[in-house]
Structure 1
């Protein structure tokens, strides 16, 4: 009986346990379904802000997240990361108010689905990294046979760009290794970073023809990397990968590269709405970010001898503590960054892409695509940047890569780069380098030339380049105060000088150093964006000249406005006087210019609310060249704020001028009486 009783009790306990578990599960399911049935208007009553049942948690402002941190300055009042209702301003602080304006770039976007032939050709030979200094060959015979066409026999070989000889100026001659034949699945040991693939066809008479040519770039890992400073006790050193696209304002990026911008938003990248250029074109804006110096200082120190200025460049700061460095830029025929009088005669970094593009860049599809081998020049740079980061992810690296070809002018199509950049960012994430790598995706200025510059909105667009930043996960966990400052500074007036100071600060943090660095030489009030930028900052504080400052609203005037016309006449007279002094080649001269038409007139108030600045755009003839000028009017006195900007595409009309800066004002005419 006792055994039977015990067995029954055990069965009862098991049954009770099962019933209890089933009841709990049923209750949880009921509550879960109930949360979706309840209507959203049912609120939790509280004295605190109301929350809706069944809806996501509300967005909390940074003021609440960091409520334990006291305000350090009177201008520190806007801490929101994102606003559900976009404001009417790019920046809205006591010191600077920049209106939100949108140039319509969408009308120039091409439909890539209908233009799938916009390519640099089809690859038949593929190279893939198989180690730090090896690549594996994959040959697609079916594709290669199409290139061979009527040639029944063909073979392929590879050669490396092994060196370059300076000849003359900034156009070195390239040296190659012997061309070595290869077959499918072969492993090639890298002799340098750049490989040229060439296939030759043979006809029945044994005559030859090159049927296929392509280029690849890989980062061949440097042997015996300089060890990190033994004095550095930091466990984490932060890498830096800077990617630039020429002439990309924030509105242009949003409209032409929506996939890339969506990637930034979804992955919580920072976007700096108030990033502002400090000078006209590429070189001074990039040099401010890379050296912290203004163009006058750079010209004095580096003109004609850029190699002597290597120590000024930010990547050298990192190289000093054992980082591996790289620099690459496409579209070499442009006089943009390190060219002409500011060219390097020797490689400025450990990995240097210039010899790769000297092999050849070819314009295709009505100059809308620049090709280097069977890939676009921009694709080649991004592939190289990805391999560089992946090769040195267990070390420390600083890479600076600049893409001109996708976006340099109005004929360029950034939309071609959209999927390419998005794919690059996805691959970069898979490498794991984002844990301790800052990635900065920025530009130098907006679009400076073309018919789109005739609109009022383009005035702001030109001055407001894009700037996005990925903050590494390790940094987010270890540096909450710096992360807070970065979030706030998305809505503050910010310049390339601040970027330079930030890069210096990344180096300092990577060294675990407490030594503070002085402000950049070009802007004594600028500093790292790891510190909150004061909301009272003005263009003057940020070393932005009045000519480029956009911290104001423009008010339109009719083209017949009397005072506005006087500002146009002042600018036209200045150009005429300048033309008379331009030195030209023998037997050539500059034609006399006159006003053809007024494109637009606007004005804005000076800080004293009494004086006015007039912004005028007009065409001159002959040549039909358009200019934009700023004129300060105090009472009856007018002063031209130089320089005058050319806003039409340069068409080579002023090639006879000896000084390159004068060519935009000169329409060349040959002197027929000259012998």
Structure 2
């Protein structure tokens, strides 16, 4: 009998271990699949299966292939797109106006890196983004609620007695989802930061609470008194929306756009607030991990990795590193601090750790949402938590925080992943963000202290169809970088002229970090010039400024702020030196594709193939690092028989990316080739071809 019990226990433990491992593997696989690069999304936001089996060798192609290449053809896997997505220009662009926002395009003619702003037509927006129009979140059973900081009473319209779930465990970034235990009685309510109330299986409501703690406020004031006895509080809010470019913010948030570009210039806000749009912000790469350490720590990712040395997120090394975090900087100056992040994956913890050393952390709620509502911060769908979109709770918690500590200096870092997908969930933010901005400015309009509200993104979002349009590069590489501040503070800092000037300058992530440190000293009679210069020496770049204090120099280049060439929005098309071995491979493959393109699209049965060719122009434009696919545009003109000139455009990226993404153009119309170069299998696809002297639609060589 004892043996049977032992065997049963061992089997049970083994089964539990297998389930636990499988669950963790699934979480890690999901995280790996979705983390920041979006290479497995189709244009409708769904995951794309590897369609490599739909390709076959074109051994019978009448034009043949270049040596070492595989010519590809396939059945159509998507609707034949029009050329709106295919024709990129290699000419130096004249960015003569702000097509996104409302900035007067009045920057210095001597500016080395001028701001970029592209226009997209309504048809193009529908084609490229194809966002869904999500409705208001709905539930089956309505309810009545009386909610205060000390009590909560829920009455379900279906007559059911509500069940409750609360959670008081320590707030930690990342980790596994929180499985709710529903109870008839609401327990430990004063100590929980959220409550979920269930009237039916499809009607579960959520409420969140920032709990005021007098000891936190008293301790902050004690620290503040070491620097000054100022009684006018400053609030600094760093509101980060993951994966939202400047262009996408203006396209997706019409109410917010009108508020920022029009309403703030009118009463009741115009007398007290200014809005700034930094249209020329630069990013080191298309990943949160490359951007946020520079903003939050003033360090590069490699610097943080050198300190952490592959430590697990629970290691004490992360707590040591947080001594350099911007929230620690504010805390030491006497600010009440807060961090809210809706990430359920161990992504930000890779450089921040799981435990965040601030007064208020709000993150466990979204791990409960994963179990209760079935969404996480990478789902390509609307994320409803009961009758509200999930991002609403970040705004609600932050609003409570700034009111609970209205008499204290305070700093909040709020990171939302509402835009970290491609289906259109970002559009649901518009109404809630607009209402948050209005209520926040109304609160500070009543003389509740000074305000600096930065609305940033780490980077834009990669859309597969836009990879064939040069505008896509700029749209994803120019992050949203907005700021609202009250005019009294602006005047005292003598910052207006400098801020207006810096809106057009090449802005680095290090500049934002230094600006936050600079403004943190405002309640304490400002940061002394000597100390400011010392702070500047702490950065891994020599060219760093506070946007409140210094004008960014006109001659600043990407390399000055550690932005690599593939991510640099200052660059133009570069000349291809055709004598190099790699360049010869590129050109030979493009000529081969041009032959196939003419054969596919020829407008007469008497058309001839390319017999001889001579390069007249060869340009390239790199848009991605090798780890993200090595995307590079090529624009090549070559002379063929009878003095005809062919202009051909193509894109090259890794063959692995092509198979993952499924975003290539239909190869029956736009032929592609796989070839080997630089120890990597690459894929080239021609996207446009025209013959000079022919009508636009005439593809024929005589």
TM-score (normalizing by structure 1) = 0.63
Structure 1 equivalent of residue 360 of structure 2? 351
Structure 2 equivalent of residue 527 of structure 1? 545
Write the distance in 2 (CA, Å) between the matches of 1:420 and 1:92.
Answer: 39
Contact 2:574 2:619 in 1 (8 A): no
Deviation of 1:563 after TM superposition, in Å, equals 8.0
Structure 2 equivalent of residue 231 of structure 1? 226
Write the distance in 1 (CA, Å) between the matches of 2:215 and 2:379.
Answer: 46
The alignment status of 1:391 with 2:404, answered yes or no, reads yes
Write the distance in 2 (CA, Å) between the matches of 1:490 and 1:458.
Answer: 22
Structure 2 equivalent of residue 472 of structure 1? 486
Structure 2 equivalent of residue 448 of structure 1? 462
Deviation of 1:643 after TM superposition, in Å, equals 11
Deviation of 1:420 after TM superposition, in Å, equals 1.7
The alignment status of 1:316 with 2:328, answered yes or no, reads yes
SS at match of 1:536: coil
Write the distance in 2 (CA, Å) between the matches of 1:222 and 1:506.
Answer: 25
Contact 1:367 1:411 in 2 (8 A): yes
Deviation of 1:413 after TM superposition, in Å, equals 3.5
Deviation of 1:229 after TM superposition, in Å, equals 2.5
**Structure 1 pair 126/217, CA: closer, same or farther in 2 (3 Å)?**
farther
Q: Per chain length, whose mean CA-contact separation is higher, i.e. which structure has more relative contact order (CA < 8 Å, sep 6+)?
A: 2
Write the distance in 2 (CA, Å) between the matches of 1:317 and 1:106.
Answer: 44
**Structure 1 pair 563/414, CA: closer, same or farther in 2 (3 Å)?**
farther
Q: How does 1:610-625 map to 2 (within 5 A)?
A: 614-615=620-621
Contact 1:243 1:400 in 2 (8 A): yes
**Structure 1 pair 612/173, CA: closer, same or farther in 2 (3 Å)?**
same
User: Higher strand fraction: Structure 1 or Structure 2?
Assistant: 1
The alignment status of 1:101 with 2:118, answered yes or no, reads yes
2:380 to 362, 367, 374: 367
Structure 2 equivalent of residue 338 of structure 1? 348
Write the distance in 2 (CA, Å) between the matches of 1:666 and 1:120.
Answer: 47
Structure 2 equivalent of residue 124 of structure 1? 142
* Bigger Cα displacement from structure 2, 429-438 vs 86-95: 86-95
SS at match of 1:328: strand
Write the distance in 2 (CA, Å) between the matches of 1:254 and 1:165.
Answer: 33
Structure 2 equivalent of residue 301 of structure 1? 307
Q: How does 1:170-185 map to 2 (within 5 A)?
A: 170-172=174-176, 174=178, 179=183, 181=185
The alignment status of 1:538 with 2:544, answered yes or no, reads no
Q: How does 1:221-300 map to 2 (within 5 A)?
A: 221-225=212-216, 226=219, 227=221, 228-233=223-228, 234-265=230-261, 266-267=263-264, 268-300=274-306
Which blocks of at least 5 consecutive residues in structure 2 are unaligned?
A: 1-96, 265-273, 598-616, 635-651, 664-679, 684-702
Structure 2 equivalent of residue 156 of structure 1? 162
Deviation of 1:666 after TM superposition, in Å, equals 12
Cα-to-partner distance string for 1:229-281 (whole Å, 9 max, x where unaligned): 22332343421111111222111112221211111113141101111112331
**Structure 1 pair 646/313, CA: closer, same or farther in 2 (3 Å)?**
farther
Contact 2:99 2:117 in 1 (8 A): no
Deviation of 1:123 after TM superposition, in Å, equals 7.2
Write the distance in 2 (CA, Å) between the matches of 1:548 and 1:462.
Answer: 10
Write the distance in 2 (CA, Å) between the matches of 1:193 and 1:429.
Answer: 25
Write the distance in 2 (CA, Å) between the matches of 1:257 and 1:379.
Answer: 15
The alignment status of 1:424 with 2:427, answered yes or no, reads no
**Structure 1 pair 178/404, CA: closer, same or farther in 2 (3 Å)?**
closer
The alignment status of 1:506 with 2:519, answered yes or no, reads yes
2:339 to 317, 320, 327: 327
2:477 to 444, 447, 463: 463
SS at match of 1:369: coil
SS at match of 2:283: coil
Write the distance in 1 (CA, Å) between the matches of 2:301 and 2:438.
Answer: 36
Task: Give the structure with higher Rg (CA).
Answer: 1
Deviation of 1:195 after TM superposition, in Å, equals 1.5
Deviation of 1:136 after TM superposition, in Å, equals 4.4
SS at match of 2:224: coil
Write the distance in 2 (CA, Å) between the matches of 1:92 and 1:126.
Answer: 60
Contact 2:208 2:397 in 1 (8 A): yes
Write the distance in 1 (CA, Å) between the matches of 2:449 and 2:557.
Answer: 35
Cα-to-partner distance string for 1:452-496 (whole Å, 9 max, x where unaligned): 23211111112110111001233023222x222111111111011
Contact 1:292 1:521 in 2 (8 A): yes
Deviation of 1:326 after TM superposition, in Å, equals 1.5
Cα-to-partner distance string for 1:579-605 (whole Å, 9 max, x where unaligned): xxxxxxxxxxxxxxx9xx99xxxxxxx
Write the distance in 1 (CA, Å) between the matches of 2:101 and 2:450.
Answer: 31
Deviation of 1:562 after TM superposition, in Å, equals 6.9
Write the distance in 2 (CA, Å) between the matches of 1:277 and 1:380.
Answer: 28
Write the distance in 2 (CA, Å) between the matches of 1:401 and 1:505.
Answer: 20
**Structure 1 pair 444/98, CA: closer, same or farther in 2 (3 Å)?**
same
Write the distance in 2 (CA, Å) between the matches of 1:328 and 1:319.
Answer: 16
Q: CA RMSD for the aligned pairs? A: 4.6
Write the distance in 2 (CA, Å) between the matches of 1:565 and 1:239.
Answer: 58
Deviation of 1:534 after TM superposition, in Å, equals 1.4
1:488 to 484, 493, 501: 501
Question: How many residues align structurally?
Answer: 495
Write the distance in 1 (CA, Å) between the matches of 2:351 and 2:411.
Answer: 21
Deviation of 1:423 after TM superposition, in Å, equals 1.3
Write the distance in 2 (CA, Å) between the matches of 1:441 and 1:354.
Answer: 20
Cα-to-partner distance string for 1:407-438 (whole Å, 9 max, x where unaligned): 21322342221112111111212322774121
Cα-to-partner distance string for 1:575-629 (whole Å, 9 max, x where unaligned): xxxxxxxxxxxxxxxxxxx9xx99xxxxxxxxxxxx99722589x9xxxx96514
Structure 2 equivalent of residue 518 of structure 1? 535
Write the distance in 1 (CA, Å) between the matches of 2:209 and 2:323.
Answer: 26
Which blocks of at least 5 consecutive residues in structure 1 are unaligned?
A: 1-79, 146-152, 201-209, 574-593, 599-610, 632-641, 654-663, 668-675
Write the distance in 2 (CA, Å) between the matches of 1:666 and 1:417.
Answer: 39
Structure 1 equivalent of residue 631 of structure 2? 628
The alignment status of 1:401 with 2:414, answered yes or no, reads yes
